[in-house]
């Protein structure tokens, strides 16, 4: 479904990604783990077209997307929940969701999807007229995921959804991610520092160090791998 081929990205003279390649198949949950500054966020931002890649190719459903503008990429079916959630603080919860459906014009289905979200997260429904900035961290993460779902993505990119959340909330968020994958058959590309949690729900995983993919295997094998255990699982 998604194919990244020898992707290199630069910030000025600093090379953030050094020719990475990866592949995501339809219906999978893929995780990309790595330390701070390894290039995980840059990878997602390159796929979404926010950071322009200097070399390499990205294909989505066999279409080259590495030269496309971000809005075209969204319209093809790739949505991102960025690091830090980035809720619009002065828009209401409902307006934040409206923004998620920005490129859609099928009013009836948008209403249905909105109802589905209220059902999935009753707490958001209670706060629908509240400004997004007044929500707690966990609620904001729910809203950020919901907002991305409003675009009806085929591939959902999630950047550190567990960041700064209480363990109980983290568990809840991961359950929802799994549910989105199984119920809607949405393919998920999950970037995480919480390698343990991520590998437990993912089918396959990539390990990234200093802008290079150093390992790629099934989640089960990665969980047992000595090097991964030592570096990312704290065992």
Work out how close the CB of 53 gets to other proteins at its nearest, in angstroms, rounded to a whole number: 16
Sign of CA dihedral 85, 91, 92, 95: negative
Q: By CB under 8 A, tell whether 48 contacts other proteins.
A: yes
Among 103, 115, 224, 235, binds other proteins (CB under 8 A): 103
Cβ–Cβ under 8 Å, residues 220 and 31: no
Minimum separation from the CB atom of position 131 to other proteins (A): 11
State the minimum distance, in angstroms, from the CB of residue 90 to other proteins. 6
Backbone angles phi, psi at 37, to 5 degrees: 80, 10
Our CB check for other proteins shows the closer of 57 and 98 to be 98
Helix (H, G, I), strand (E, B) or coil at 179: helix
Max Cα distance, the chain (Å): 52
Pick the closest to residue 17 from 62, 71, 50, 56 (CA basis): 56
Report the alpha-carbon distance of residue 107 to residue 172 in Å, rounded.
30
Task: Give me the least distance between CB of 201 and other proteins, in Å please.
Answer: 23
Q: Does 100 bind other proteins (CB under 8 A)?
A: yes
Number of Cβ atoms within 10 Å of the Cβ of 187:
23
225 with 200: CB under 8 angstroms?
no
Is 61 among the residues that bind other proteins (CB under 8 A)? no
159 has which bridge partners?
191
Q: Which of 52, 54, 64, 69 binds other proteins (CB under 8 A)?
A: 69
Tokens representing residue 108 in the block: 């009836």
Site string for other proteins, 13-42 (x = CB under 8 A): ------------------------------
How many chain residues interact with other proteins (CB under 8 A)?
Answer: 23
Instruction: Output 39 or 100, the one with its CB closest to other proteins.
Output: 100
Helices 137-149, 167-184: crossing angle, 10 deg rounding:
10
Binding mask 124-153 for other proteins (x = CB under 8 A): -----------------------x---x--
Among 8, 55, 75, 216, binds other proteins (CB under 8 A): 75
Answer whether 8's CB lies under 8 Å from 17's CB: yes
The answer to whether 80 contacts other proteins (rule: CB under 8 A) is yes
Which residue, 177 or 228, has its beta carbon nearer to other proteins?
Answer: 177
Binding status of residue 88 toward other proteins by CB under 8 A: yes
Is the Cβ–Cβ distance between 177 and 141 less than 8 Å?
Answer: no
Q: Which residues in this chain contact other proteins in the complex, by CB under 8 A?
A: 48, 50, 69-71, 74-75, 79-80, 82, 86, 88-91, 95, 98-100, 102-103, 147, 151
């Amino acid at each position: 479904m998604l194919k990244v081929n020898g992707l290199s990205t630069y910030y000025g003279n600093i090379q953030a990604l050094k020719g990475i390649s990866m592949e995501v198949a339809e219906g999978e949950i893929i995780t990309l783990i790595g330390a701070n500054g390894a290039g995980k966020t840059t990878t997602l931002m390159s796929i979404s077209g926010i950071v322009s890649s200097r070399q390499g190719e990205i294909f989505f459903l066999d279409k080259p997307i590495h030269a496309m503008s971000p809005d075209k990429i969204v319209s093809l079916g790739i949505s991102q929940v960025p690091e830090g959630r980035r809720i619009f603080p002065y828009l209401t919860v409902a307006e934040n969701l409206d923004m998620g459906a920005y490129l859609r014009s099928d009013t009836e289905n948008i209403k249905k999807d909105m109802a589905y979200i209220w059902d999935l997260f009753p707490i958001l429904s209670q706060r629908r007229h509240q400004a997004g900035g007044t929500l707690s961290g966990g609620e904001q993460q729910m809203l950020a995921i919901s907002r991305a779902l409003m675009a009806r993505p085929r591939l959902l990119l999630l950047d550190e959804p567990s960041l700064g959340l209480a363990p109980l909330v983290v568990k809840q968020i991961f359950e929802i991610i799994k549910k989105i994958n199984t119920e809607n058959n949405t393919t998920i590309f999950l970037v995480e520092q919480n390698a343990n949690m991520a590998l437990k729900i993912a089918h396959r995983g990539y390990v990234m160090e200093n802008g290079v993919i150093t390992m790629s295997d099934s989640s089960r094998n990665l969980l047992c791998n000595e090097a991964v255990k030592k570096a990312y699982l704290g065992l």
